[in-house]
Structure 1
Amino acid sequence: MIVDRQGRRFRNLRISLTSACNYACTYCVPDGKRLVAAQDELSADAMIQAVAYLIEAAGIERLRITGGEPLVSPKLEALLRGVSQLGLDDISLTSNGQLLTRKLPLLLETGIRRLNISLDTLDPEAFRRIARGGDLFSVLEGLDQARAAGLKIKLNMVPLRGQNLDQVLPLLDYCLERGFELRFIELMRMGHLARAGQNFQQQFVGLPELLALIGERYEYAQADAPVDATALRYKIAGRGYFGVIANESVPFCRSCSRLRLSSTGWLHGCLSSSNRHYVGDLLDKPRHQALPALQGLLVKALGDKQELAFAGGTTIMKIIGG
């Protein structure tokens, strides 16, 4: 087992199935252009092999499939069927939900029972302005169908001053009424926002302001969460839960257990580090050659983690998954 001096190890793997996305959200890409799949993305078989090796070399227990937008990838079915056979404790998927109605039967058939859906507003005009793609009502229909099918659903919202701050309470009400758990994600200094300076500060909404807004309508109390959770979790008695991923206000680097694999075969140990480690050339090697080399890369990736707090990163979030 690979453990650093703070006792951290990799337990949770996030794989970016593709860098392609049918949205171009303002906080993710700067120019409004949708990202397309890279020419050198790993095949589904190679990704399955990578996950299998990482389970053995790092002790990965939980897998989240991300993008880009994973539901646009032609590799989705093969990947889901492959990783479902690897004995993981949990497999979940993050999506913008635009294609959820179309892909829901596949998700159910392959054992997906948990979804994180990115949704920043219930206002159609603001939705088009922020996402720069897609259709709000298709997402809401997908959520209704997923809920009816019994999936456990969390919604992810990035509050942005001047864009959707008025949606904090409406989205929370929407989630509480449906048994969804809403996660507010503080704006991150990633990609084009890493050096945005004043523009970042003008848009940023932090934990204290969010809690003050929610406190105007609801009484809440902090709830328990796993030791390596990224979110601070809160309970509204008799109604449900919400969380805040307060990467700026209350950093969680000391307990981070996440490892990321890009669609092109690079391991990222930390969102706040520009370091990356290529595993693509190990996936065709026999186990006795691949595992020692992979363990060496994992030591480096674990060493990339910040000691205390997220410091920003120039990598575009959609390249390595949320």
Structure 2
Amino acid sequence: MQLVDQWNRRIRKLRVSLTDQCNLRCRYCMPLHPEFLDKSSYLTPQQYKEVIGELLDYGIEEVRITGGEPLVRQDFDEVIQELAKLKIPSLSLTTNGLLLHRYWDVLKAANVLNLNVSLDSLQPSTQAAIARRDCLADILRNIQEGIARGFSLKVNTVVMRGINDCELFDFVEFARKTGVTVRFLELMRVGYANSLYEEHYVSAQECIARLQERYTLTPLPAAPDSTAFYFTIDENVKVGFIASESQPFCSSCSRWRLTADGRLFACLFSEEGLSVRDKTPGQRQQIYQQLLGMKPLRRVEQVSHPMYGLGG
């Protein structure tokens, strides 16, 4: 069986949520007092290994660990150690960076060397207002330590009008100083962010136009199924953009999502997922086939379910 749908899109990337919980309350992601899954519903490390190992046989090549915040899961190290046994061609992590200092050795031993760190401001007061926690110094400290330890880091920044869109140049200079890749993300109409969209949305093209007032942006080639497109500035600074609102990439999308409680979603904007928890291999094969038919060809305008439940 190959994971290829009727539109000839091959599923080769899997976003894996370990938990919907988080130690921040970013205003575009979740309310101050969210309702989380009961931890008893989480897939066990062995269940993750079984399902993901099966999907590798069906053509999955890249696995990215997400949350919520994956590092708040108490048995995070056990999950990573089990996944490392699968020899996944590309195993990476998305995190807010606050707890990275606890797991450097675990991540390196599992060959998880590519990290995406969510960081929405370089100003302490603005970052605290967005995340609802004074956390900038800790995140920056872990970014610096990760660089020193040989990890490859990307910084993901959700650009919001009137909040942090004045920091575009600051992030470019941060990339120049540290060597990280900075990616500017459009605010998406998912869950809690729907209420912010009209007032705070900024398109990638507007960001590019602003940056071109000061810099020369040279485009870089990107894979057909890449969610991001990239430019270099002055040859050694790399910036990217994820324009899922203004330039949807649905027609070439190669991703599925696995939630912490064992539901597979064909798309971040799918309202319905299919549970693979406690299923036999034969039953799961039927589910994979069914899920191929559930992946939308065109962008859904918005969804009400929270992003932290499906993984960012």
Q: What range describes the TM-score normalised by the shorter chain of this pair?
A: over 0.9
Conserved in 1, the CA contact under 8 Å of 2:185 and 2:204? no
Alignment of 1:205-284 (within 5 A): 205-282=202-279
1:313 matched to 2:310? The reply is no
Of stretches 82-91 and 150-159 in structure 1, the one that deviates more from structure 2 is 82-91
Conserved in 2, the CA contact under 8 Å of 1:155 and 1:183? yes
Q: Which residue in the other structure is 2:192 paired with?
A: 192
Give the Cα–Cα distance (whole angstroms) in 1 for the partners of residues 18 and 176 of structure 2: 31
TM-score by length of structure 2 reads 0.95
Give the Cα–Cα distance (whole angstroms) in 1 for the partners of residues 35 and 229 of structure 2: 31
For the residue of structure 1 that corresponds to 2:103, the secondary structure is helix
Q: Which residue in the other structure is 1:153 paired with?
A: 153
For the residue of structure 1 that corresponds to 2:251, the secondary structure is helix
What's the offset of the Cα at 1:46?
Answer: 1.3
1:53 matched to 2:54? The reply is yes
Unpaired segments ≥5 residues, structure 2: none
Conserved in 2, the CA contact under 8 Å of 1:43 and 1:75? no
Deviations 1:240-290 (A, max 9, x none): 2111110111110011001110000100111112010000021xx4xxxx1
Deviations 1:50-97 (A, max 9, x none): 2112222x3111110000111111121111111111121110000000
Of stretches 185-194 and 109-118 in structure 1, the one that deviates more from structure 2 is 185-194
Go from structure 1 to structure 2 and tell me whether the alpha carbon gap of 1:243 and 1:303 turns closer, same or farther (over 3 Å shift): same
Task: Report the identity percentage.
Answer: 34
Runs of at least 4 residues off by over 6 Å: none
Conserved in 1, the CA contact under 8 Å of 2:65 and 2:93? yes
Give the Cα–Cα distance (whole angstroms) in 1 for the partners of residues 233 and 97 of structure 2: 26
Deviations 1:179-219 (A, max 9, x none): 1111111111101334x3xx412110001210011112210
Q: Which residue in the other structure is 2:78 paired with?
A: 78
Conserved in 2, the CA contact under 8 Å of 1:24 and 1:35? no
What letter matches 1:33 in structure 2?
H
Give the Cα–Cα distance (whole angstroms) in 1 for the partners of residues 36 and 283 of structure 2: 31
Q: Which residue in the other structure is 1:113 paired with?
A: 113
Alignment of 1:7-156 (within 5 A): 7-29=8-30, 31-33=31-33, 36=36, 38-39=38-39, 40-56=41-57, 58-156=58-156
Conserved in 1, the CA contact under 8 Å of 2:175 and 2:238? no
For the residue of structure 2 that corresponds to 1:193, the secondary structure is helix
Conserved in 1, the CA contact under 8 Å of 2:120 and 2:156? yes
RMSD over equivalenced CA pairs, Å: 1.5
What's the offset of the Cα at 1:33?
Answer: 2.4
Q: Which residue in the other structure is 2:169 paired with?
A: 169
Go from structure 1 to structure 2 and tell me whether the alpha carbon gap of 1:192 and 1:34 turns closer, same or farther (over 3 Å shift): closer
Conserved in 1, the CA contact under 8 Å of 2:229 and 2:240? yes
